[in-house]
Amino acid sequence: MMSKRAPEDIEFDADDLAEVLEHLGKADRNRLSFGVVLMSHSGDVLFYSDHEREMSGYPRDPVGLNWLRDVAPCMNEDWFLNGLIRSRDLGRLDLVVSTTGDHRDRRQELDLRLLSAVSGQQMWLLIRRA
């Protein structure tokens, strides 16, 4: 089932965002106004949106790489690790953290939203730039 909402109408703060993301096709996920990463609870990247690749300046396709080891070791911090564990163990997590820095610009202000997938088997990382 595909989402009935157009990508430009989907908000970073939406209460039902996990459900919406899981019903969007890959092309529509790539058109969202924020970056989208889907990862396993061990941190392996399963999906990385084209929009995030363009905005962050990450130079290659990270699908199959480990987010904390290979892509963004700067996020290897307690708040992120605890989020992975909580999402895995409880199957529910919705945490927003504001931080600074991405691959292209270390001064870039970011809002990061960690969100359990509906199935509880994975976790979404959503990245909004200020």
This prediction's pTM:
0.87
CA distance 15 to 101: 26
Is the residue at 6 inside a domain?
no
Indicate whether 7 belongs to any domain: no
> What is the per-residue pLDDT for 8?
85
Long-range pairs of 56-59 with CB within 8 A, sequence gap ≥ 24:
56/102, 56/103, 56/104, 56/127, 57/102, 57/103, 57/104, 57/105, 58/103, 59/103
User: 124 lies in which domain range?
Assistant: 15-129
Measure the CA–CA gap between 37 and 21, rounded to whole angstroms. 11
Q: How many domains does the chain have?
A: 1
Average pLDDT, the chain: 87
pLDDT at residue number 1: 46
What is the CATH classification number for the domain harbouring 118? 3.30.450.20
Per-residue pLDDT of the chain (130 residues; tens, 9 = 90+): 455 778 888 999 999 999 999 999 999 999 999 999 999 988 999 999 999 999 888 888 999 999 989 998 888 888 888 878 887 888 788 888 887 776 666 777 889 999 999 887 899 999 999 7
Residue 1 in domain = no
